[in-house]
C-alpha cells in the first residue's frame, strides 16, 4: 500500500465524521424556535441579575476612597486600585496577631468541621437508615424537631457542655458543636434511604464487614449528597461569626470572620474610614465559597435533581 492510498483511507472516515457532525448541527438549528430563543434570553438575563451582587462587591473592593461615597452611587469602578486590600492586610498585620494566624485558624476549623460533618452525618444516617434500631423512628423525629430551633438558641446548652468539658478556646470545642447539624443529617438520611437494602444483604452474604459495606458500597453511591454536604458545611463554617465569638476569648484563636468584623466594626467616622476595608474583606470572605461551589456545582445540581425526582 503506497502513501497516497493511505492518505485516502485516513481522509475518508474523517470527511464522513465532519459531514455527520454538520448534519447534526443543522438538525439542532431546525429545533430553534422563537419560544426557545426567548427562554434562553430570559435565562441569561436572570443569570446576569443574580451575578450583580458579586460584580458590585468586586467593583466596590477596587474603588478608591472618594468613589465609595459618590452620590448618586456608581455601580462600576472608574479608577481601580488595590489600596483597600493593602490597607486591610496592613491593619491586620499591625495588630497583636498576624493575618496569617487568623487565616490558619479559619482553614483548620473549616476543614475539620467539613470532614467531621461528612463522617458523623453519613455514618449516623447509615446506621439509622439501614439498621432496625429500637426507638430509631423517635430518635429521627427528635432530630427533625431540632430544625425548628434557631442555632443561636442551641448555642447556650452547647456552651455549657463545652465549658464543662474544658474545651473552651480550642479548635475541638468549636468543631464538636458544628459537626452534627440536623439539616445535614437529614440530607444524608434521605439519600441513604433510597439505597437498595438488597445490595447490602448481598454484600453481607459474601462476607463483607459493616464498615466495608458502608465505605466501599454505600458511600460511593452517595457522592452527589456528599458534595452538597461539603458545600453546605463549608459555607456555614467559613462564614460563621457567632460560634467563635462565644467559644473563643483568646485573640490568637480567633477566626478570619471574627477578626474582619472587629476590624471593620464601628459607627460614624469609624465606619466611613473602614468602608474600603470592609468591601475588600467581604470579597476575601466570599471568594473561597465561590470556588468551592464552582468545583462542586455539577454534583450539587445532581443532588437537587435526585431530590426532585425521588421526592
Which pTM value belongs to this model? 0.76
Confidence at 304, pLDDT banded by 50, 70, 90? low
| Overall fold of domain 96-310 | MetI-like fold (1.10.3720)
Range from 7-16, 17-26, 69-78, 273-282 that averages highest in pLDDT:
69-78
Sorted by where each begins, the domain ranges of the chain are 96-310
Report the range of poorest mean pLDDT among 76-85, 124-133, 298-307: 298-307
Position with higher pLDDT, 33 vs 8? 33
Q: What letter does residue 218 receive in the DSSP assignment?
A: I
- Tally of CB atoms within 10 A around 309: 7
From residue 216, give the alpha-carbon distance in Å to each of 124, 197, 204, 209.
16, 15, 13, 10
From residue 180, give the alpha-carbon distance in Å to each of 71, 155, 156, 171, 184.
47, 13, 16, 16, 7
pLDDT digits (tens, 9 = 90+) for 167-208: 888 888 889 988 888 888 988 888 888 888 888 989 888 888
Confidence at 12, pLDDT banded by 50, 70, 90? low
Amino acid at each position: 500500500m503506497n502513501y497516497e492510498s493511505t492518505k485516502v483511507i485516513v481522509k475518508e472516515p474523517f470527511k464522513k465524521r465532519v459531514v455527520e457532525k454538520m448534519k447534526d448541527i443543522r438538525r439542532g438549528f431546525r429545533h430553534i424556535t422563537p419560544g426557545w430563543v426567548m427562554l434562553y434570553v430570559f435565562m441569561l438575563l436572570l443569570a446576569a441579575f443574580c451575578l450583580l451582587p458579586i460584580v458590585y462587591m468586586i467593583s466596590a473592593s477596587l474603588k478608591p476612597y472618594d468613589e465609595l461615597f459618590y452620590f448618586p452611587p456608581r455601580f462600576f469602578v472608574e479608577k481601580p486600585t488595590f489600596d483597600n486590600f493593602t490597607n486591610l492586610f496592613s491593619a491586620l498585620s499591625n495588630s497583636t496577631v498576624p493575618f496569617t494566624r487568623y487565616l490558619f485558624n479559619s482553614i483548620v476549623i473549616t476543614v475539620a468541621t467539613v470532614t467531621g460533618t461528612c463522617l458523623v452525618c453519613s455514618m449516623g444516617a447509615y446506621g439509622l437508615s439501614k439498621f432496625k434500631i429500637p426507638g430509631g423512628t423517635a430518635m429521627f423525629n427528635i432530630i427533625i424537631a431540632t430544625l425548628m430551633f434557631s442555632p443561636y438558641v442551641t448555642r447556650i446548652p452547647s456552651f455549657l457542655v463545652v465549658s464543662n468539658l474544658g474545651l473552651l478556646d480550642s479548635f475541638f470545642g468549636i468543631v464538636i458543636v458544628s459537626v452534627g447539624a440536623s439539616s445535614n443529617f437529614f440530607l444524608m438520611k434521605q439519600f441513604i434511604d433510597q439505597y437498595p437494602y438488597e445490595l447490602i444483604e448481598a454484600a453481607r452474604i459474601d462476607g463483607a464487614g459493616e464498615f466495608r459495606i458502608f465505605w466501599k458500597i454505600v458511600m460511593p453511591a452517595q457522592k452527589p449528597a456528599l458534595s452538597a454536604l461539603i458545600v453546605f458545611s463549608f459555607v456555614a463554617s467559613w462564614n460563621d461569626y457567632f460560634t467563635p465569638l462565644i467559644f473563643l476569648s483568646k485573640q490568637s484563636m480567633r477566626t478570619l470572620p471574627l477578626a474582619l468584623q472587629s476590624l471593620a466594626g464601628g459607627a460614624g467616622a469609624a465606619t466611613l474610614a473602614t468602608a474600603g476595608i470592609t468591601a475588600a474583606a467581604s470579597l476575601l470572605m466570599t471568594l473561597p465559597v465561590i470556588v468551592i461551589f464552582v468545583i462542586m456545582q455539577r454534583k450539587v445540581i445532581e443532588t437537587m435533581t435526585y431530590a426532585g425526582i425521588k421526592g
